[in-house]
Amino acid sequence: MRNIPGTDEGLAVVGLGNSNAFRQGHFETSRQLLTTFFDHGGRYVDCGGDSAYLVASVAGNLDHRDTVFLGSYFNGENAAESEAAIRRLRAINGGKPLDLIHTVPEDGVPNWDVFRAWKDNGLTRFIGLARHNARYYEAIMKVMETGTIDFVQVNLSPLETEAEDRLLPMAMDKGIAVTTNRPFINGQYFSIVKGRPLPAWAVEFDCTSWAQFSIKYVLSHPAVTCVLTETANPRHLQDNLGGGFGRLPDEETRLRMRELVQSFS
């Protein structure tokens, strides 16, 4: 568990992203996945659109409405339409304020004032920005400078490290929670490490799989609150969650991990 900066509220360090099970509306598969997730201490689920309604419904069905920390997405362009969707999601989630609403910046964040109003009006507890490519970092950092943002979500792995240069240090300096996506680069990471033995020195930080290797790399950065993984396979989810337990690599080992994986590509 790591605390959301500025609060006493903790999040389990490995979360669950927008699994195909959620996107495709598979209730029973989603139920199995979330059962495994909650049974192993998971909390943060990040998804948008109809997936958010499904996750909220399944969490309630499993009696984990108070466990799940749901990150969802709205664009703020049509405030009335978005507010109606927010209220629908709140109703499914027992009428509570939403946990976290993200928007996705393109060339800027023109509707950020709408998100701030939603937080001020109690529709959501936290607001944030989420993107998966370094070309959006400048737009994200401009909002970070305003001091009005609670969360940022960016891509981070041993193969995508650009966020470590400026964005993550800024988040630490300003007390902004960081969640990360693409630890496996949409599966590309596994194609790169496939057939290669896990280095013997991975035991030094309690790592037993290549999935955990990337997850532990991400979690060893002090700015990171939670790493999001995507899978529809409960067995793979268990392995991913294992990356949140045991020792983490130090800075010297992080560099070694990064150099090793980048040498494969």
What is the amino acid identity at position 3?
Answer: N
Q: Flag whether 200 is in a domain.
A: no
Q: Flag whether 174 is in a domain.
A: yes
In 10-47, which positions are buried (b, 16+ CB within 10 angstroms) versus exposed (e)? Answer: ebbbbbbbbbebbbeebeebbbbbbebbbebebbbbbb
Cβ neighbours of 104 (radius 10 Å)? 15
Separation CA 217–CA 38 (nearest Å): 23
pLDDT at position 194 is: 96
Provide the CATH number for the domain around residue 44. 3.20.20.100
Q: Flag whether 103 is in a domain.
A: yes
Strand (E) positions, the chain?
2-3, 10-11, 14-16, 44-46, 69-73, 98-103, 124-130, 151-155, 177-181, 224-229
Q: Flag whether 210 is in a domain.
A: no
Q: Mind listing the pLDDT tens digit for each residue in 213-263?
A: 999 999 999 999 999 999 999 999 999 999 999 999 999 999 999 999 999
Q: What is the mean pLDDT for each group of 10 consecutive residues in the chain (265 residues)? A: 97 96 95 96 96 97 97 89 94 95 85 94 96 95 96 98 98 98 96 97 98 98 97 95 98 98 94
Strand partners, 31: none
In the chain, the number of structural domains is 1
Q: Which domain holds residue 143?
A: 9-182+225-245
Separation CA 242–CA 14 (nearest Å): 9
pLDDT at position 79 is: 86
Q: Flag whether 105 is in a domain.
A: yes
Q: Flag whether 166 is in a domain.
A: yes
Q: Flag whether 256 is in a domain.
A: no
pLDDT at position 108 is: 77
Please tell me whether residue 246 adopts helix, strand or coil conformation. Answer: coil
pLDDT at position 233 is: 94
Separation CA 236–CA 108 (nearest Å): 36
pLDDT at position 213 is: 98
Q: Flag whether 113 is in a domain.
A: yes
Record the tokens describing residue 183, joined without a space: 């630890």
pLDDT at position 238 is: 96
